[in-house]
Every structure is written in structure tokens, then in C-alpha cells.
Amino acid sequence: MTGSTHPLRPNSVLVVADDLGFGDLGCYGSERIPTPNVDRLAREGLLFRNAHATSAVCTPSRYSLLTGEYPWRKEGTGILPGNAALIIDTDRTTLPSLLRDAGYRTAAVGKWHLGLGGPDGPDWNGDLRPGPLEIGFDTCFIMPATCDRVPCVYVQDHAVANLDPGDPISVRYDAPIGDEPTGRERPDLLKLRSSHGHDQTIINGIGRIGYMTGGRSARWVDEEMADTFTEHAVQFIERADDRPFFLYFATHDPHVPRVPHPRFLGRSGCGVRGDAIVQFDDCVGRIMAALERQSVAGDTLVIVTSDNGPVVDDGYADHAVADLNGHRPAGPLRGGKYSIFEGGTRIPFALRWPAAVAPGTSDALVCLMDLTASMAALTGSAIPDGDARDSLDVLPALLGQSPIGRDCLVEQAGCLALLSGALKAIEPSAGATYHAATDTELGNAPEPQMYDLAADLGERTNLAAERPVEAAALLDALAEVRTRLARG
Ligand code: NG6
Ligand code: CA
């Protein structure tokens, strides 16, 4: 019906959850947490079972999503502190700049975590450029880093929202600043205690990573964050003009600290992590309702996905482990967030576009990094040479016209792994095999690993010793890609 020879410019909404796992949604087999809105979207669209982020944590995953490049090509793409400078080159084509240049109005709402400001970092009390607007978004309403990192304020376009100039913000990560209490010194003030880390400045009764002072009128209230982001997203959708729109809606759920609005407490039967997923599902429902009210739901391409795999105890004593109630956030996959096993990078990915895409399921290998080239193909846009270099046009797979996506993908979590057809090889590394604080099988190991995901999706049987020729060929191919791309 559609394809690269017939350019189209559908409205597009990309919903990226934070740490939502392959097993967290009803449409992926979860029987416990109710996710009716995402399940309906998936039923009416295409559900991908082999969709991936490049990386098992946020910053590199989102870097590759927006730039179309493997993050490990570039230094400084690991998990960023909240006062980092922008790590995306403003001269390069990105997913939003491509669409803006194709005539879209574009917005980023929600989690950013890609840095703000020039080499000296962000000026919280002044002009916060470069940021989302310099890489292709017309407007933004964002949380600078993560909900557990300072500064706990929203940024709208180029400034902190609701900042009182008489109470300027200061942020440090290397040493305390100001005289506000920290979680380490005053655990008695906390409404949510830390299980590891998260014991620096207390904001809204929660210890954070990093120190901040000032900006009291601008500070967010965690319980209201989902509503706040959703309202901004809905307003953007409702601000319709004659251009198509692209909305990057990056929720903070279900990342820690999990402090959903009280109306969601107890709704999942799986504790506060499940309740945060119910809240996420509600946000998706409200986005869909806004599209329906605008009479554009039938011809809007909506993707619901996640930046990396799930984690249960990520540093707050929120009972999430004890309350799981049999729920398996990664479903059948091994590992989770931080892991080179599939639980780290294989993510939920549902695409609904009734005007062009028939409902169904797909096993095509696709990656978030491919959206730039695929949207270029869809909209008939050219990507300048040298930009979005690792992004592949997998549009036929995304539209359900082909069962084939990429042939292979490099995954990143400490070490690298190569997924090629059904086989996956993990390079030998000195990285940790297990992370006790989060109870995660990281999968890094000194010996080579190879798994046959067709027979063993849970990566239980290492075939590297039994099938050494195939394992060596895959690891050689991985080493070759790494060396070639690292050369730039
Ligand atoms: C870790 C944090 C974790 C989370 C993660 C980034 C501690 C102990 N752990 O360092 O809570 O913030 O960074 O998550 O501080 S991500 O989804 O943004 O990649
Ligand atoms: Ca994440």
C-alpha cells in the first residue's frame, strides 16, 4: 500500500517508556498488570517480537534512536549525569530534524537524558541551548535527565519552567552544594528510602543522585509527572495546523523512583512498579483519545516502545521485588536492564497505523536506530552522506509488508554482542557477569558465548564450545564491525 516510492507524511507519535520490559504488557503475555490501552493499540496494529534498542541503558539507547548511529562509535554516550552537555551533534541529521525538514511540526515531551548546553554544560538560570530545539524539535517540555537525578525541574524550550529568578538553581554531582538535607544524613525525612545510591539531595521526600539547591518554585512533584507530561503532549496534538506532526513522548514510567499518582496505587496487584505501568498505559490511552478527538487516529502512525529492558530493584526500597506476585518483567528473556542478554535490549514495540498497516505480528529484526532511515524512506526525504550511518531502511518490515528487517544488529551492555539471524554471539570480556544490587545477570563473561535464539530464547545453553566454527565466525564479524565503525 505504501512504500519508499510513494512518499507519505502521516502524523507520527513515538511513545518511549523508560525501563519497560518485554514481559510487562498484556500484548506480550503478561497476565497480571492490566494494560488495556497498549493492548488495544497492539491488537489494531503490528506487534514486533524481535525489536531492539541498541543498548541496555537509557542514554546510549536514546542517542542511537535520535541519531541513527551506534552509540559506541562515540565517547561519552554512557549514562549521563543531570548536568551534562548535549551529546548530539547539532550539525547532523536526526530523526526529528529529518521530519522537521520534511515539513512536520515536532515536539519532545518527557525524559531527555542526552545533555543540555554547550561544552560548559547547562546554565539552569539562563538560556539552555543547545538542546532538543537545536537537534530538530520545534518545541519541548522535558525532564533533563532521569527522575532520580537532579535537577528535579522541567525544561520548556530553552528555560527551566516556573523558575523564580530570585531563587536560582545550582547543581553539582561531584560535591554537596547548599544546605538542603541529603538522604544519607537525614533518612528520617524520606518517604521513599534508598536500597542503593540515591542518597544525595532530598527533593519531594525522595533522595536523588546529585546535589541541587534553589529553584523551589520550579521543582516537580513526582506524583504529578505523568499527568504533566501527558497534558503537554495532548496540547501539542491539539495545536493542529495544516502540517503533519511528530511527537516524541518519552515517559518516565516505570523508571525509579516509582511514585505514581495515588489514583493508580494498588491497581496492578503487582506493587508500585506494576502501578507505574498501569499509569503508563493510562497515558497512552489519553494520547490515543486526543488523536481520536482530533479525528486523526486512523491516519496517525503510533509506536509504543521502551528504551531498554526492565529492572525491579533499581535503588529504592519500594517493595517492587517482594510485590512482583509472579510477574516476570522480561517475560521469557534472560537478564534485563544493564544486561547483554536479550532482556537488556529486546523491547516491546507495537506499531499502529490503520490507514496503512494491517494488524498482525512480526518477527522481523528491527531496531529503534532504524527509525531515521525508515521515516526518510516513508516521507521521501534524503539523508545527507555521513549522517544516520547505522540506520537501515526497514520500512517494509515496519509496515508489515515484509517479514525481513535487518540481517544483524550489534547489541551493547558493557561488552558487545552480534545478533545475526537466530544466532547471537557475545564477545568475551572482563565485565561483570552479575550485579547483585539490581539482581541482574549482566551476561558479560571471559569466555565466548553463542546462543541459538530460535531454540533457546532464554539463552540458557552456551553453544560456543560445541559449535566453535560458527561462534568464531560471528565473533570475527563483530570484531570487524567494531573496528570498521570505530574508525569513523
Ligand atoms: C544508575 C542508577 C539507576 C538508574 C540508572 C540509569 C544508582 C544506584 N543507580 O546509575 O537508578 O538511574 O543509573 O537508568 O544510582 S537509565 O534508564 O536512565 O539508563
Ligand atoms: Ca531506561
What percent of the chain clears pLDDT 90, i.e. is strictly above it? 98
State yes or no: pLDDT of 488 exceeds 90: no
CA of 80 to the centre of ligand 1 (A): 9
Instruction: Tell me what the mean pLDDT of segment 204-214 comes to.
Output: 98
Domains of the chain as residue ranges with CATH: 11-398 (3.40.720.10), 414-487 (3.30.1120.10)
State yes or no: pLDDT of 187 exceeds 90: yes
| Per-residue model confidence (pLDDT) at position 7 | 82
Determine the atom of ligand 1 nearest the C-alpha atom of 255. Answer: 17
User: How would you class 291 by CB atoms within 10 Å of its CB: exposed for 0-12, middle for 13-18, buried for 19 or more?
Assistant: buried
> Which residue(s) pair with 303 in the sheet?
14, 351
- Residue 435 CA to chain centroid, in angstroms? 21
Return phi, psi of residue 86, to 5°: -60, 130
Respond yes or no on whether the N-terminal peptide bond of residue 254 is cis (omega within 30° of 0): yes
The rounded distance, in Å, linking the Cα atoms of 43 and 442 is: 33
What percent of the chain clears pLDDT 70, i.e. is strictly above it? 99
Residue keyed to cell 516505570 = 254
State yes or no: pLDDT of 459 exceeds 80: yes
User: Which one of the ligands is nearest to 256 CA?
Assistant: 1
CA of 23 to the centre of ligand 1 (A): 20
Q: How confident is the model at residue 299 (pLDDT cuts 50, 70, 90)?
A: very high
State yes or no: pLDDT of 269 exceeds 90: yes
| Per-residue model confidence (pLDDT) at position 486 | 82
Respond yes or no on whether the N-terminal peptide bond of residue 310 is cis (omega within 30° of 0): no
State yes or no: pLDDT of 461 exceeds 80: yes
Sign of CA dihedral 449, 451, 457, 459: negative
The rounded distance, in Å, linking the Cα atoms of 381 and 374 is: 10
Alpha-carbon distance values, 198 to 190, 194, 299, 313 (Å): 11, 6, 43, 12
State yes or no: pLDDT of 124 exceeds 60: yes
State yes or no: pLDDT of 151 exceeds 70: yes
Backbone conformation region of residue 293, classed left if phi is above 0, alpha if psi is from -120 to 50, else beta? alpha
- Note the pLDDT tens digit of each residue in 1-41: 344 456 899 999 999 999 999 999 999 999 999 999 999 99
In this structure, are residues 143 and 106 in contact, taking their beta carbons and an 8 Å threshold?
A: no
Determine the atom of ligand 1 nearest the C-alpha atom of 256. Answer: 11
Please choose, from the candidates 325, 330, 331, the residue with its C-alpha nearest in 3D space to the C-alpha of residue 269.
325
State yes or no: pLDDT of 219 exceeds 80: yes
- Note the pLDDT tens digit of each residue in 71-107: 999 999 999 999 999 999 999 999 999 999 999 999 9
The rounded distance, in Å, linking the Cα atoms of 369 and 357 is: 21
CA atoms within 13 A on the CB side of 40: 11
| Per-residue model confidence (pLDDT) at position 1 | 38
| Per-residue model confidence (pLDDT) at position 220 | 98
3-state secondary structure of 194: strand
Residue keyed to cell 511514585 = 259
Q: What is the dihedral of CA 448, 455, 401, 69, to 10 degrees?
A: -20
Q: What is the dihedral of CA 363, 366, 371, 377, to 10 degrees?
A: -70
- Note the pLDDT tens digit of each residue in 347-382: 999 999 999 999 999 999 999 999 999 999 999 999
The rounded distance, in Å, linking the Cα atoms of 268 and 323 is: 10
| Per-residue model confidence (pLDDT) at position 5 | 52
What's 119's DSSP letter?
T
Please choose, from the candidates 99, 104, 38, 45, the residue with its C-alpha nearest in 3D space to the C-alpha of residue 399.
45
CA of 63 to the centre of ligand 2 (A): 12
- Note the pLDDT tens digit of each residue in 235-249: 999 998 999 999 999
User: Around Cβ 454, how many Cβ atoms within 10 Å?
Assistant: 10
CA of 456 to the centre of ligand 1 (A): 29
Residue/partner pairs of 225-230 with CB below 8 Å, 24 or more apart: 225/143, 225/147, 225/252, 226/251, 226/252, 226/253, 226/260, 226/261, 226/279, 226/280, 226/282, 226/283, 227/261, 228/154, 229/109, 229/110, 229/141, 229/283, 230/283, 230/286, 230/287
User: Around Cβ 476, how many Cβ atoms within 10 Å?
Assistant: 12
Residues with CB under 5 A from ligand 2 (ion): 18-19, 58, 307-308
Task: Indicate which residue's Cα is closest to atom 16 of ligand 1.
Answer: 58
The rounded distance, in Å, linking the Cα atoms of 305 and 49 is: 11
Q: Which residues line ligand 1 (CB under 6 A)?
A: 18-19, 57-58, 79, 113, 146, 148, 196-198, 209, 255-256, 314-315
- Note the pLDDT tens digit of each residue in 390-443: 999 999 999 999 999 999 999 999 999 999 999 999 999 999 999 999 999 999
CA of 25 to the centre of ligand 2 (A): 16
